[in-house]
Amino acid sequence: MKLAVMGAGAVGRSVAKLAGEYGHTVTALADSSGAVVDADGIDVAAVLARKRGSGTVGDAEVATALDAPYDALVEATPTTLSDAQPGFGHVEAALERDRHVVLANKGPVAERYDEVRALAADSRGEVLFEAAVAGAIPTLSTIDSLGPERVRAVRGVLNGTANFVLSRMAAEGLDYEHVLAEAQDLGVAEADPSFDVEGTDAALKCVILANVLYDGGYTLADAEVEGIRSIPGSALELAAEDGRTVRLIGEVSDGSVRVGPRLVPENGTLAVTGTTNIVQLETEHAGQLNISGAGAGGPETASAVLADVGRLPPVD
């Protein structure tokens, strides 16, 4: 397939780099700085070297990427709240051209899911977004196989940064500020970590899951969200005395979406450590399924994007 990749962060760059191995051609790559388009396939290595040098992928306007010849648009620009732009506009442009869309960007399917679905209903293009929920973990494809109506609840650890902080606090007896600084040094937490530690990122993933399970209607405003900032190290020590620990757990069940710190058994399934994510599905006939793996990372998330691309039917 011909791919237009929107966004040249870790995920967009990895999709562009790996596309050839999966038998695809990248005909356009764009980020906020500019775009490069070549109907025969751009020279990905050269373009990414240019970005490392000058900071821009190319001189063309971003809009030229949207007009490029492609079968599927890969939306990997940064997640934004409310209007979910510029991602939503990219999704709209592709669907109006009867092209497929594969999202790693959570914004459009968390904040404007019903609009995305309405656009898809009027398009010959399809919309897939496995990479938007827990990176490499095959969450949405598993729910699709089971049938969303047979999934009673989904819960899990859906943010690697928050999990790194909590598992280090518990393992080393350190407090939040100390571990956060360490995580920032390691590149696990961003300079402004609020999106991760306040639970917003995990909540967006849960909102997407709720939209899939309950046939739309959810945005971030429907989620009850509490972060990990105010957890004292002493709370983790107390939990440990009782064989338990604390994890930032997102949960979608009975029509509601909740994210917050929860006590879980110290060596239990949900107590993954470091940046690992886990998704736990309670199903109607198949019992409980647990899937853990990399919830973020360039190649890992790109792997989910390219799996989605592989599921798309040919464009007429």
Catalytic residue set: 205
By C-beta, is 141 or 184 nearer to its own copies?
A: 141
Q: Write out the DSSP string of 8-27.
A: -SHHHHHHHHHHGGGT-EEE
Beta carbon of residue 114, minimum distance to its own copies (angstroms, whole number): 25
How would you label 152-185 residue by residue, b for 16+ Cβ within 10 Å and e otherwise? eebbbbbbbbbbbbbbbbbeeebebeebbebbee
Q: Is the preceding omega at residue 232 within 30 degrees of 0, hence cis?
A: no
Q: Is 279 annotated as a binding residue?
A: no
Contact string 136-155 vs its own copies (x = CB under 8 A): xxx--xx--xxx--x-----
Torsional class of 163: left (φ above 0), alpha (ψ -120 to 50), beta (otherwise) = alpha
Q: Is 62 annotated as a binding residue?
A: no
By C-beta, is 159 or 219 nearer to its own copies?
A: 159
Cβ-based neighbours of 107, under 8 Å, separated by 6 or more: 79, 80, 81, 84, 85, 87, 88, 204
Contact string 5-34 vs its own copies (x = CB under 8 A): ---------x---x---x------------
Distance of alpha carbon 43 from the chain centroid? 27
| Of 142, 176, 163, residue with least CA distance to 291 | 142
By C-beta, is 11 or 91 nearer to its own copies?
A: 11
Counting every residue written for the chain, the total comes to 316
Q: Is 21 annotated as a binding residue?
A: no
Beta carbon of residue 299, minimum distance to its own copies (angstroms, whole number): 4
Beta carbon of residue 7, minimum distance to its own copies (angstroms, whole number): 18
Q: For residues 267 and 152, is the Cβ–Cβ distance under 8 A?
A: no
| Site size for its own copies (CB under 8 A) | 34
By C-beta, is 148 or 260 nearer to its own copies?
A: 148
Q: For residues 220 and 110, is the Cβ–Cβ distance under 8 A?
A: yes
Q: Is 106 annotated as a binding residue?
A: yes
H or E segment at 44?
Answer: helix 44-54
By C-beta, is 230 or 267 nearer to its own copies?
A: 267
Q: What tokens does 238 get? A: 């107390």
The footprint of its own copies on residues 282-311 (CB under 8 A) is 283, 285-294, 297, 299-300, 302-304, 307, 310-311
Q: Is 17 annotated as a binding residue?
A: no
Cα 282–284–288 angle (5° rounding)? 30
Beta carbon of residue 145, minimum distance to its own copies (angstroms, whole number): 4
Q: Is 9 annotated as a binding residue?
A: yes
By C-beta, is 227 or 293 nearer to its own copies?
A: 293
* Site for its own copies contains 230 (CB under 8 A): no
Beta carbon of residue 296, minimum distance to its own copies (angstroms, whole number): 10
Q: What tokens does 312 get? A: 């798309």
Annotated binding site for NADPH: 106
Annotated binding site: 7-12, 106, 190
Q: Which residues bind its own copies (CB under 8 A)?
A: 14, 18, 22, 136-138, 141-142, 145-147, 150, 267, 269, 283, 285-294, 297, 299-300, 302-304, 307, 310-311
Annotated binding site for NADP(+): 7-12
